[in-house]
Amino acid sequence: MIEHIPPGVILIAGAVLVPLLRNPAVRNAYMLLLPLVGLWGLTQMAPGTHWAFEAFGYRLAPVRVDQLSLIFGYIFHIAAALSIVYAFHIRDAVQQVAGLVYAGAAIGGAFAGDLITLFVYWEGTAVSSVFLIWASRNNAALRSGMRYVIIHVGSGVLLLAGAMLHYRATGSVAFDKMTLSGLGPTLILIAFGIKAAFPLLHNWLQDAYPNATVTGTVFLSAFTTKLAIYALARGFPGLDMLIWVGAAMTAFPIFYAVIENDLRRVLAYSLNNQLGFMVVGVGIGTEMSLNGTAAHAFSHILYKALLFMSMGAVLFRTGTCKGSELGGLYKTMPWTAGFCIVGAASISAFPLFSGFISKSLIITAAADGGHWIVWMVLLFASAGVFHHSGIKIPYFAFFQHDSGKRPKEAPFNMLVAMGITAFLCIAIGVLPGPLYAILPYQVNFEPYTTTHVITQLQLLIFSALAFGFLMRTGLYPPELRSVNLDFDWFYRRPAIMIAHAFRDAGSRTQIGFMTGLQRQVKWLIAVTFRHHGPEGVLARTWQTGSTVLWVAVLLVLYLIFYFV
């Protein structure tokens, strides 16, 4: 029975009842049950297209089940369940409903078999997720939420426009592999690129995620960008330009993350960096690289959620996530510190942790394909992520100097969510076989070879030595209260100044026009009054003889013009 319900609909429809459940324990149990039931239903679904129908001349396929959609469906349900457990302590129905709808829309999008259905879920993720930002209920969250929703709704508009142009060119809205042979697929690629945080289109991520609520950021880290990665893997596998786009994505966020003081913003830049590996995998387009993209998305959702959970717990207990204001928290938050270290080891691709068995697929695929420059960039990015997420996050939050703060350990539900996530990060790293078994293509790869393990350990050790050297010599950028400028400065400052200049110029033009118009109206009234007023020529009483004379003159003139 449950397998006959489209994936994601259970969470979306179930969210309607959440505000009606007044007992917190009942509400939490009900919310957790939704993704668990949805996950079970997903395991019962047969491969193929389901519920296909025609509407307004379009052939729609709301649900398409295959290995690529299934692996994203599995991890989206798991991430939703973990995020719900992490948020058990909140009593905000807005966040709870928004989180369920958001997760359900992402799941539905991962199974969309046509571009119209994808557009509906695409916009669903945008509209629902913005409430997780606005739920912070401060001016910064309000402004960043407005920018976030404008950008993501704009992405949806581009997707819809591209779908219509693609339909005109091909006669189909099926969501399959496309080529950049026209304007339609180009607009669709840009729409995917916005959500995947391509370079110069990425700033919504660093702007919005740190301004979301403690629990909202965990939801946000799992769904939006990974839905975009799925869409790229479905629509544009093997597109060469994505290799270089992804390589750029892996490299440039490192420099921003190293100098950033807000540790949740550091994680946002790190998220951008990890997305780059996945985009490279999509661009290479081989079975190994696409397996790597799917596996890394699976692993990334878990370890990135774990890192955001640990920083969220720090923010929840201390009221700050600034590296300059933290330190020494391991003394009273040892469990949170330990879970954070697991997440840091996973994102850094330490052997026996999840990042090691997924990232290596992409790096190996780059080498096998002869993309040596990209391969070297990926190695540099791997060392860089160890700097800013593997070392910087746990070091500045829990160790370094003693900040004097002695907060309580994180709430029990947060610890449970972090503990389960940490267990999965280690389990996948130790036993990658179950994850490899559900990848889109057969895996013929062994991550734990002597060469691979030693090479990775050497990379990490030298990166750690570099960090230690920079810290000892004072060359490492210190944690300062500062604002780092990124590309969004161009549309958040100069663009606004230009808009204000146009507004002021328009106001001056309008004032000048209205002043001139008023002057002309006054002149017209004066002339009219002069001729038709009480003393005007046309208002005077004329003598009968004069009137007859003028009538005779006009009559003569009329006869002359008529007969000539």
Q: Is the pLDDT of residue 502 over 90?
A: no
What mean pLDDT is predicted for residues 238-251?
94
| pLDDT at residue number 478 | 65
Is 86 in contact with 417 (CB distance < 8 Å)?
yes
Question: What would the pLDDT profile of 137-173 be if each residue is shown by its tens digit?
Answer: 999 999 999 999 999 999 999 999 999 999 999 989 9
In whole angstroms, give the CA distance from residue 440 to residue 234.
11
- The 10 Å Cβ neighbour count of residue 504 is 10
Choose the most confident range, by mean pLDDT, from 24-33, 204-213, 459-468, 501-510: 24-33
Q: Is the pLDDT of residue 563 over 70?
A: no
Is 223 in contact with 129 (CB distance < 8 Å)?
yes
User: Residue 514 — very low, low, confident or very high, per pLDDT cuts 50/70/90?
Assistant: confident
User: Residue 423 — very low, low, confident or very high, per pLDDT cuts 50/70/90?
Assistant: very high
Q: Is the pLDDT of residue 392 over 80?
A: yes
| pLDDT at residue number 536 | 62
pLDDT > 90 in the chain, percent: 62
| pLDDT at residue number 492 | 63
What mean pLDDT is predicted for residues 533-555?
65
At 503, the amino acid letter reads: R
C-alpha to C-alpha distances, 394 to 61, 213, 252, 264, 265, nearest whole angstrom:
46, 21, 22, 12, 14
Helix (H) or strand (E) holding 281: helix 263-284
| pLDDT at residue number 389 | 81
In the beta sheet, which residues pair with residue 322? 262
C-alpha to C-alpha distances, 66 to 137, 180, 316, 371, 440, nearest whole angstrom:
41, 24, 40, 29, 8
CA-wise closest residue to 127 among 294, 17, 15: 15
In whole angstroms, give the CA distance from residue 76 to residue 7.
11
**Angle, vertex CA 358, rays to CA 314 and CA 245, nearest 5:** 85
Question: What would the pLDDT profile of 262-289 be if each residue is shown by its tens digit?
Answer: 899 999 999 999 999 999 999 999 999 9
C-alpha of 359 from chain center: 21
At 271, the amino acid letter reads: L
User: Residue 132 — very low, low, confident or very high, per pLDDT cuts 50/70/90?
Assistant: very high
User: Residue 466 — very low, low, confident or very high, per pLDDT cuts 50/70/90?
Assistant: confident
Q: Which residue has the higher pLDDT, 529 or 46?
A: 46
What mean pLDDT is predicted for residues 534-547?
61
User: Residue 556 — very low, low, confident or very high, per pLDDT cuts 50/70/90?
Assistant: confident
Would you give the DSSP letter of residue 533? S
Q: Which residue has the higher pLDDT, 5 or 129?
A: 129
Retrieve residue 417's tokens.
């969510």
Q: Tell me the three-class secondary structure of 368-417, residue by residue.
A: HCCCHHHHHHHHHHHHHHHHHHHHHHHHHHHCCCCCCCCCCCCCHHHHHH
The pLDDT mean for the chain works out to 88
Q: Is the pLDDT of residue 469 over 80?
A: no
C-alpha to C-alpha distances, 319 to 213, 233, 322, nearest whole angstrom:
12, 39, 9
| pLDDT at residue number 529 | 65
| pLDDT at residue number 56 | 77
CA-wise closest residue to 216 among 107, 108, 315: 315
End-to-end CA distance of the chain: 98
| pLDDT at residue number 507 | 76
| pLDDT at residue number 257 | 81
Q: What b-and-e string marks burial along 47-86, b requiring 16 or more CB atoms within 10 Å of the CB?
A: eeebeeeeeeebbbbbbbbeebbbbbbbbbbbbbbbbbbb
Q: Is the pLDDT of residue 488 over 70?
A: no
Question: What would the pLDDT profile of 220-238 be if each residue is shown by its tens digit?
Answer: 999 999 999 999 999 999 9
Question: What would the pLDDT profile of 24-71 be if each residue is shown by its tens digit?
Answer: 999 999 999 999 999 999 998 989 998 888 887 788 999 999 999 999
Q: Is the pLDDT of residue 198 over 90?
A: yes
What mean pLDDT is predicted for residues 495-514?
73
- For tokens 């190994």, the residue is 288
Helix (H) or strand (E) holding 63: strand 63-65
Q: What does pTM read for this prediction?
A: 0.86
Question: What would the pLDDT profile of 203-212 be if each residue is shown by its tens digit?
Answer: 888 889 999 9
What does DSSP say about strands 58-60 and 53-55: parallel, antiparallel, or unpaired? antiparallel
Q: Is the pLDDT of residue 413 over 90?
A: yes
In whole angstroms, give the CA distance from residue 103 to residue 92.
17
| pLDDT at residue number 372 | 93
| pLDDT at residue number 538 | 56
| pLDDT at residue number 286 | 94
Q: Is 168 exposed, middle or buried (0-12, 13-18, 19+ CB in 10 A)?
A: exposed
| pLDDT at residue number 255 | 82
Phi and psi at 61, nearest 5°, equal -130, 85
Is 303 in contact with 291 (CB distance < 8 Å)?
no
In whole angstroms, give the CA distance from residue 60 to residue 114.
6
What mean pLDDT is predicted for residues 513-532?
75
Would you give the DSSP letter of residue 114? B
| Concatenated DSSP letters of 424-476 | HHHHHHH--HHHHHTSSS-----S--HHHHHHHHHHHHHHHHHHHHHHHHT-S
What mean pLDDT is predicted for residues 409-438?
96
Question: What would the pLDDT profile of 368-379 be if each residue is shown by its tens digit?
Answer: 999 999 999 998
Q: Is the pLDDT of residue 542 over 60?
A: no
